[in-house]
Structure formats: C-alpha cells, structure tokens
Structure 1
Amino acid sequence: MSDTGLAPRRGRGRRQARDGSPGQNPHLERPYITRAIPTYDILGDEALDRIDATADRIMAEIGIEFRDDPDTVEMFRRAGGEVTQLDPARWTIKFAPGLIREILKSAPAQFTQHARNPARSVEIGGDNVVFAPSYGSPFVMDLDKGRRYGTLGDFQNFVKLGQASPWLHHSGGTVCEPTDIPVNKRHLDMVYAHMRYSDRPFLGSITAPERAADSVEMCRVLFGADYVDRNCVIMGNFNTTSPLVIDGVTSQGIREYARAGQGSIHLPFLLGGAVSPLTMAGSVAQCLAESMVSCAIAQLERPGAPVVLASFLSSMSLRSGSPTFGTAEPALGSLVYGQLARRLNLPLRCAGNFSTSKLPDAQAMQQSMMSMMSAIHCGANFLLHSAGFLDGLLSMSYEKFMLDLDLCGALHAYLDGVAVNEDTLGFDALAEQGPGEHLFSTQHTMRHYKTAYYDSALDDNQPWETWDEQGAVDMASRANTRWKAQLAAYEMPPMDVAVDEALKDFVARRKASMEDAWY
C-alpha cells in the first residue's frame, strides 16, 4: 500500500471517478499513466555507490550555503547540521554523511495531488507518470505573430489548450509569464486561471513567501480549509541557486507549502561547466546533494509533507557558452538520476520535451525526443515541460505545444507496454481465413481496429500525390491549424458560482492591498 492508502495501480484502463462512473472522454483520457514497461538501469551498484558517496562528501565537506533565512538555518542546526556564519545574512551548513538521508525517511514514496474534479486527481510516485506543460517562459510564439512577450491572455490560452487535451494530466504552473500584469500581482491571476479554466491539479506561486501563502489560501477558498489541511491540493516548484546555494525566498517558500501540508518539487537547474561539473557524473552528484537538502527543509518544517526529488541537467556549447537542451549527455544523466531516486524511495521529476530550436521544426522534435525518452525510461513520475518548450525555455510555442501533445499521446501507448494474452496473440485472426488471405475483415481486426494503434492527430500518412494535391502542408502548419481549432472548441469546466465569486473577491482584495511593482 502507498502512503495514501491506495494500492499502486497497474492496469491499463482509465481510472474511474470516485463515484464509480467513468469520467469525460473514457476512450482516451486517463488522469495519469501507470507504466507497464520497466525502467532502464544504466549503472551498476558500484558506480551508483560512488555517486551517492560524492553527494555525501559535497554535503559534509563543502556544505550548502543558506541566505536570508535564519529560521531554516536554526532548524538544520537543531537537526545536527554544522553551521558556520559567513556574515549576518549568509551561513554554510555541513551535514554528516547519512544525516540528510535520515531526515528524508519521513517523506512519502507516493502521494495524491487532488484536483477540484476528483476524477482528475493524480498519483505521484511509484509506477505512476504525470505529464504537465512547460513552465516559466517569458516569451510566447506562434507562426502568425512571431515571438513576443507573454500576456495573461496567452497564459489562459495555454491552460485551456492543456485542459482540452486528453494527453496531459496536470495543468502545470507558470505556463508563460503574463508580463502585462505587475510582478507582485500576477501570481493571483495565474492561480485563478488554473482554478477556473482547468479542473486538473496545478502548481502555485514560488516567487515570494507571501505569494506562496496566497496560493495556499486560494486553495482553501476552492477546496475548503479542512480539506486542504488533510490533503495535498497544490505544489510549488522550487529551484536551488546552483552551485550549492539555497536563498531565503526559496527556503521560506518551501516551508510555507510544507507548513500547510502541501507538496513541493526541489529542482537544481544545472548547466555543466558553468554551475556544475562539466562531466555528467559530477553534475548528477551535485544535483542529488542540492535536491536532497532542499527536500529536507520541507521534512523539518512538517515531517511527511509531500516532496519530489528533481533534476534539470543541461549541457553547454563550449564554443559560445550558450546552454544546450535535448542533448545526449543530460539524457544519460537522467537515467542515472532515476536509479538514485529509487534508492531514496522518493518521487522523481526530471527532463521533458527540451529543445534549443527557435522554431517548431525537425531540430525541436529531435532534441525533444532525446530528452523526453530519457524521462520515460529513467522512471520519472512528474514530467514538467511535457509540452510547449522552445528556444531553450525562453519561449512557449503554440505549435510546439500541439506537437508535444501528440508525442505525449503516443507515449501513453508506449508506456502501456505489450499485453500478452489469448486475444492479443491473435491466433484466431490467422485461423479464421487461413494462409494467403488478408485479415482486414476478420473478427479480431474488427474488435481491435479502433484501439490497436495510437491515432495521431497531426501526422500525415497519405501518399505523396494526395498530400501534394492538398497543399503540401507541413507539420508546423498543421499544428497551427490544430491549436486554433482546439481553442475554439474549448469548454470551460463547471464551477460553483459562489466559489468562483469568493475566489474573485480574494484576488481583488489582495490586489487592492498592494501597489503595482513591475520588477
């Protein structure tokens, strides 16, 4: 049994709503995937032991620097950390081997993030896989208007597109920056957009402790305070400041979510050769040390608070110093990191549909496939950046969003694996008409033709002549047409009018209480 009291779900069928009735779109949609294929273990125990030992050495001999948060420092001091004060607002803490691992024993191996529609709640951890859209881009782009700063309208569009797709399970967080809203207020509009335009789980604000608190408070309005006190309904996605620094905004935000019993994702963003060792084994060891210490903050604040171990491994063009995404070495690093997460028995977030391409083109999808498949095979449970990532994460692309959704759909079929039983072995399909006869009309074909293969919404599989006669439309152009049609067909999920009014009132009151700040 998991910590939620639910046995791990291993079937291929879509999970039903809690009342036993099927949810929307029962032939396509599942609130999350339970993998039926094994993870890929790239390293043996001896190599993994050496990486684990190096992470322990980093924590014990170099330590982690904390800034602007004496309360978190004091928590670690009481837990056994060796604290050295560098100046009034900076401390280095060293951790004896095994100390952080002991603290992390209270973290759940699997947990539920509840959605306002119970049929959309997700299980994070174990064999479960949750796809969420990309996160954090200041720019958006499409084939019609080009690259531009993101707006609240773009943000709402991406939430709607995600809600309308059967291939995502989670609404995500900062799907793009709504730069037309003041920095200190935009978190309210973003959280409200997730709540109103989607009925899936979502991420809250992490850019200041008070914004994290607002996110949790809005959940109390949406779900009810008692429900939030007992259940995880929101998560925050927190970055360390690599190398080996955790700033006060991050540590206080982690504690804000943990204090309320809510989830947190703990992500070092490592650029090999710049903020981590150039070699992948060293980057993985550093990533493990930073993420473990970050996770431990939540456990010290509230033992048992849900946490997700995470990694964002990236390479660099050594000719220019520019980050590169979707390359082979970080993909290998993700495979290793998955093995280390299983040793810790913690849920894992890593990789996604990464690319440095500036257009939704062949480079974009080649790099995305390299990165995304590493997340699939390493055993990642929560895949942020599953749709829309372009331009090295600087741009959220409408067309790339649709291309990635199509890939996520194919991955649903891939993760289902190969079922072997009397029906799937298909003996009767061959026996029905015998040698030399086609199988188009057999009973076996009739039973399976709608579901046997993933049916892409974007691929063109027609003969050249037909494709050419119909305008020789390329994949990016088909994706452009597709996102517009999907947005036009979007249907807002229902919400109780009183709850919606209470949320709007909370947002209005909080905005009225502060002056606009644009930085």
Structure 2
Amino acid sequence: MSDEMTDTAEAGAGRRGRRGSGGAEARRAKRQSRGAGVSMPFIDRKIGVFNVLTEEGMEIIEANCDKILEEIGIEFRDDPEALQMWRDAGADVQGERVRFPKGLVRDLLKTAPAQFTQYARNPARNVEIGGNNTVFAPVYGPPFISNLDEGRRYATIEDFQNLVKLAYMAPAMHHSGGTVCEPVDVPVNKRHLDMLYAHMRLSDKPYMGSVTHPERAQDTVNLAGLMFGDDFVQNNCVTISLINANSPMTFDDTMLGALKVYARAGQATVISPFILAGAMSPVTVAGTLTQVLAEASVGMAFTQLCRPGAPVVFGTFASSISMQTGAPTFGTPEPALVLYGAAALARRLNVPFRSGGSLCASKTPDAQAAYESVQTMWPTLMAGTNFVLHSAGWLEGGLVSSYEKFVMDCDQLAMFQRFSEGIDLTENGQAMSAIEEVGPGNHYLGCAHTQANFENAFYRSPLADNASFEQWEAEGSLRIEERANKLYKRWLNEYEAPEIDLGVDEALNDYINRRKAEMPDAFA
C-alpha cells in the first residue's frame, strides 16, 4: 500500500481513537528525504499572466516617465566616465544630472536580449531568464540569521555555507543566489571571495556576483573564468548581479562601477530601484510605477552603452511604509499592484523582469510571516516574474535569514511550481478511462487510473501535518516551524557536495589565497 493510502487509512483510524506515535512522523521523514537534492528545472509557465493596467494606463505611465527623463533627469554620482558616456550618446549632462531626449533610452534598450541563458557548472542546472520562465533564488543580504535553537544572532561564514547547502538541497530552488546572509566574522574586503567560493564549490546551481566594489565584481568575473574558461565567460552569461538604484532617481559610483565590470564582460545585471513608497517614491501606485520605470530603464540602457547585447533584467523592489512609524510593511495591496504594473511595463520593453519574494516583517516564522509572504508570492507568480530574489528565508524586513522559514518557503515554492504547470489535458489528464471504469455511485480509490497515478497526482508537502488531532498530539504536538527545524537539519545532514574538477578547485583556491594576501583585513 502506498504512503498516501496508508496515511488515508490511518487518519481514519486516528479519528476513532488515539494512535501510538511514530507512524506519520516516519512517513513524513521519508518524504522529506526523498525529494531533497533532486532539483526541479526552472519553471516554464503554462498559465497566463494577470494584468492590472489597461493599455491606456501603461501609456500614461510611459508618458510621465518620458517627462521625468527629459525634464527632471537622473543623477550619476561620482562617476565622470558614466557622465561622459551619456554625453557621447546624446544626453544632456549638467553637472551630475543627466537628462535624456525622448526616445534615447528606448532606442538603447533595443539591443538588450528578451531572454538569455545563465549557465551553471552543471549544465542540467542552467536557467532561462525571460519569456515564460520563472527562476526562484534565495533570500539576499541579511546581516542576521535565526533558528529555534539559537534565536537571532549575527551571521557567520558557516551560516552562509549552510544556506548555500540548503538552496542546493531544495528541489524547487533553481538558483544558488548571492549574499544569502552577510558573514560578519570575515573581513569586509575579503568576504566576497569566501562567499563566491561557497556558491562555486558547495553547489552546482547558477549563482550571483559581488557588487559592493568594482574590484569585487572583477574578482567574480575572474573566478568565473577559472571555472568556465575565459573565452566561455566572455561569450556567455555565467553570473547575474543585483544593481540597486539609489532611489529616488540616483545611481552611485559603487553600483555603477560594478555594473560596468559585469556589462562589459557580458554578464547579466538586475537593475532594481529599491523603493519604500512614501519615503523613496510617491505614496501612490501610479507615481511609484513612473519612478520605477524611469530609474530601471535608464540603468538598463546604461548597460547597453557599456556593451550592446549585454543581458539585463528590469528589476524592482517596491514596498510601502507605515505612515505612522516609518517602518517598512509587506504583503499589502499597493506593492502587489506596483509589481503587476512593473511586470507589464517590462514586457512592453521586451526585457526580463525581477521582483517579488517571500517577504514579511514578522520576527519569527509565524502566521504573520506566512500571510505576508504568500501575499507577495502570488502576485509574483501571476505577474509572470522571470527572476525571483528573496524566494525563501526572508524575515524581519530582510534583516534576518531564517533557517526554518527557508525550508517552509521552499515547500511553498514547490506548490507554486506545480500550479504553474497548469491543467494536464493529455489523455491521462482527461481521465476518461477512470470515469468510464467507475461509473455512477462508486469510488475511484481502486480503479486502474488512480493506481497508475496516485504517487504524483497531488502535491505532498514535506512539512504540513494532515493527520488527526489525536495522532498529531501523540507525536509531540509539533508546530510547523518545529517540523521545519527538523527538516533543515536533516537536509544539512544528508548534504553531499557536488563533484568538481580538482584542477579547477585548486585554481579557485590559489586565486582566493593570493587576493587575500594582497590586502590587509578590513572590517568597515
């Protein structure tokens, strides 16, 4: 008898009386282990997108964006080279303020690819970014971690390595991500080397590069050359990196420096205005969308000045703030509308789109965290987002990477992936043979079609408890975050590093050791 049918039978028995402990827990452990480390391919959506803007609405936003670019402009701070590049392209440069003739930015964007491949060192893990595809990547940037055993504390390089391992083990995580947490026990000027090595050695999924200094971006490109070969890197995308606009309407020299390194090397960048509406953009959805479009389109166009054809993604991180306290809020309606609108504007520019994630302000992986996260992830999926950063692990407004929430979110990602497959209309999916066999008044449990399909017919969560109250109580009355605590530890225990060419690994370590020896430690 299958696990599924055993569970059904035992659930019925549990309703008639309290069962002994161990049964459902053992089967759950089996399910948890069965899927770990088996990667699902990136999502090839079989469902449509949801639009909140009419054609007229998008034209209004675009016209307002043109007005911003022509009359107000965007500042490029502390980067004379960038200003000269815009001057040579025909923009009006006054000091650090750049104004753009109508049509210039859109003309430059014509060379940006609508879709591109990011290559992984394991070709089976390559991802397609753009089109009908969706790629899930982990949380990015928190200086703290949390788990039920230790609570909240500063992150270390061991935590970073653990989260890379969890992303590798999670079936519906298509990408290794970037700064999955900020390891504060490693010098600031050297930690990017350890973080990059963790992605390159502990996983064979695609990964993100460093953007905190142009030299660190160059280290990313150089290390990629050692792993993939310099010629391959110059002609193919092997890393993708997050470039944030300093909203409102400003790019700083740090982000511009990293952007130039990556774009000139043919590597992908995600140009993302980082907006807390009400503080860094207007309080209205339309006003925020207009500013997002202006900032993102100019940043993307600049990548094409660096190298026509460089892969680039229209990104946005837009949330709202409490107008009473100033604190960021998540899972509310207005940022979802911004997300839907920005996705539609990206499609009109014919470039890939990034937004969304499992975002929340909660301090623990509780009901608030779950509600707020799903209120962001559903719009993310339904908007047709191509690259989803912060898909798993985010807590406390992005200050914390949570071990338990990471695996809880990954469970949800697998459900989103199943939903995105749409409705199976093959002969098997139509199930006419089952309907004909069973007929009126009978049940489907024993029919041939059910027997042939029961293992994969429905998504089975490795975390959710569907047993009777008595059985749940007998097995310890565990809340989902407690089950998640067990799951992430099981994944780490079962983790095995993917194989790597020993010569490549030696070359990576030689480069890292040499670079570290060239500079003194700096913690600021």
Please state which band the TM-score falls in when normalised by the shorter chain: over 0.9
Asked if the contact 1:251–1:297 (Cα under 8 Å) also holds between the matched residues in 2, the reply is: no
Amino acid at match of 1:44: T
Structure 2, unaligned runs of 5 or more: 1-33
1:279 alignment partner in structure 2: 284
Q: Which structure ranks higher in relative contact order (CA pairs < 8 Å, sequence separation ≥ 6)?
A: 2
Q: Give the CA deviation at 1:58.
A: 1.2
Aligned partners of 2:274 and 2:136: how far apart in 1?
19
1:60 alignment partner in structure 2: 70
SS of equivalent residue, structure 2 residue 438: coil
Q: Give the CA deviation at 1:430.
A: 2.1
Q: Is 1:124 matched up with 2:129?
A: yes
1:144 alignment partner in structure 2: 149
SS of equivalent residue, structure 2 residue 246: coil
Amino acid at match of 1:125: G
Asked if the contact 2:292–2:316 (Cα under 8 Å) also holds between the matched residues in 1, the reply is: yes
- Aligned mate of 2:459, from 454, 462, 466: 454
- Aligned mate of 1:170, from 163, 175, 179: 175
Q: Give the CA deviation at 1:30.
A: 2.7
Amino acid at match of 2:340: L
Q: Give the CA deviation at 1:29.
A: 3.2
Amino acid at match of 1:55: C
Q: Is 1:243 matched up with 2:239?
A: no
* Residue-by-residue CA offset, 1:196-245 (whole Å, 9 max, x unaligned): 00001000100000000000000001111111111110111111101111
1:156 alignment partner in structure 2: 161
Q: Give the CA deviation at 1:422.
A: 2.8
Q: Give the CA deviation at 1:451.
A: 1.1
Q: Give the CA deviation at 1:164.
A: 0.8
Q: TM-score scaled by structure 2?
A: 0.92
Amino acid at match of 2:422: G
* Residue-by-residue CA offset, 1:40-87 (whole Å, 9 max, x unaligned): 0111100110011111111111100111111111111111110001xx
Asked if the contact 2:36–2:170 (Cα under 8 Å) also holds between the matched residues in 1, the reply is: no
Aligned partners of 1:461 and 1:161: how far apart in 2?
25
2:79 alignment partner in structure 1: 69
Aligned partners of 1:407 and 1:201: how far apart in 2?
21
Aligned partners of 2:240 and 2:514: how far apart in 1?
23
Q: Give the CA deviation at 1:450.
A: 1.1
Q: Which of the pair is proportionally richer in helix? A: 2
Q: How does 1:267-306 map to 2 (within 5 A)?
A: 267-306=272-311
- Aligned mate of 2:490, from 477, 485, 498: 485
- Aligned mate of 2:326, from 314, 321, 324: 321
Amino acid at match of 1:69: D
Q: Is 1:81 matched up with 2:91?
A: yes
- Aligned mate of 1:41, from 51, 74, 82: 51
Asked if the contact 2:39–2:169 (Cα under 8 Å) also holds between the matched residues in 1, the reply is: no
Q: How does 1:309-458 map to 2 (within 5 A)?
A: 309-458=314-463
Amino acid at match of 1:378: A
Aligned partners of 1:44 and 1:280: how far apart in 2?
14
Q: Is 1:51 matched up with 2:56?
A: no
2:502 alignment partner in structure 1: 497
Q: Cα–Cα, structure 1 residues 26 and 515, in superposed 2: closer, same or farther, change >3 Å? A: closer
Aligned partners of 1:293 and 1:58: how far apart in 2?
11
1:212 alignment partner in structure 2: 217
Aligned partners of 1:487 and 1:25: how far apart in 2?
14
Aligned partners of 1:35 and 1:168: how far apart in 2?
16
Q: Give the CA deviation at 1:433.
A: 3.2
Asked if the contact 2:37–2:169 (Cα under 8 Å) also holds between the matched residues in 1, the reply is: no
1:180 alignment partner in structure 2: 185
Q: Give the CA deviation at 1:421.
A: 3.1
Aligned partners of 2:66 and 2:195: how far apart in 1?
38
Aligned partners of 1:69 and 1:496: how far apart in 2?
40
Q: Give the CA deviation at 1:26.
A: 12
2:7 alignment partner in structure 1: none
1:514 alignment partner in structure 2: 519
Q: Give the CA deviation at 1:434.
A: 2.3
Asked if the contact 1:387–1:400 (Cα under 8 Å) also holds between the matched residues in 2, the reply is: yes
1:18 alignment partner in structure 2: none
Amino acid at match of 1:56: D
SS of equivalent residue, structure 1 residue 106: coil
Q: Give the CA deviation at 1:385.
A: 0.3
Could you list the structure 1 runs, at least 4 aligned residues long, displaced by more than 3 angstroms after superposition: 24-29
Aligned partners of 2:263 and 2:209: how far apart in 1?
13
Aligned partners of 2:186 and 2:341: how far apart in 1?
40
* Residue-by-residue CA offset, 1:313-348 (whole Å, 9 max, x unaligned): 100111101111222110111111111111000000
SS of equivalent residue, structure 1 residue 160: helix
SS of equivalent residue, structure 1 residue 293: helix
Q: How does 1:457-468 map to 2 (within 5 A)?
A: 457-468=462-473
Q: Give the CA deviation at 1:27.
A: 12
Amino acid at match of 1:42: V
SS of equivalent residue, structure 2 residue 208: coil
Aligned partners of 1:58 and 1:266: how far apart in 2?
18
* Residue-by-residue CA offset, 1:106-142 (whole Å, 9 max, x unaligned): 0000000000001100000000110000100010000
SS of equivalent residue, structure 1 residue 423: helix
Q: Give the CA deviation at 1:503.
A: 0.4
Aligned partners of 2:503 and 2:331: how far apart in 1?
45
Q: TM-score scaled by structure 1?
A: 0.93
Aligned partners of 1:312 and 1:98: how far apart in 2?
25
Structure 1, unaligned runs of 5 or more: 1-23, 86-90
Asked if the contact 1:399–1:476 (Cα under 8 Å) also holds between the matched residues in 2, the reply is: yes
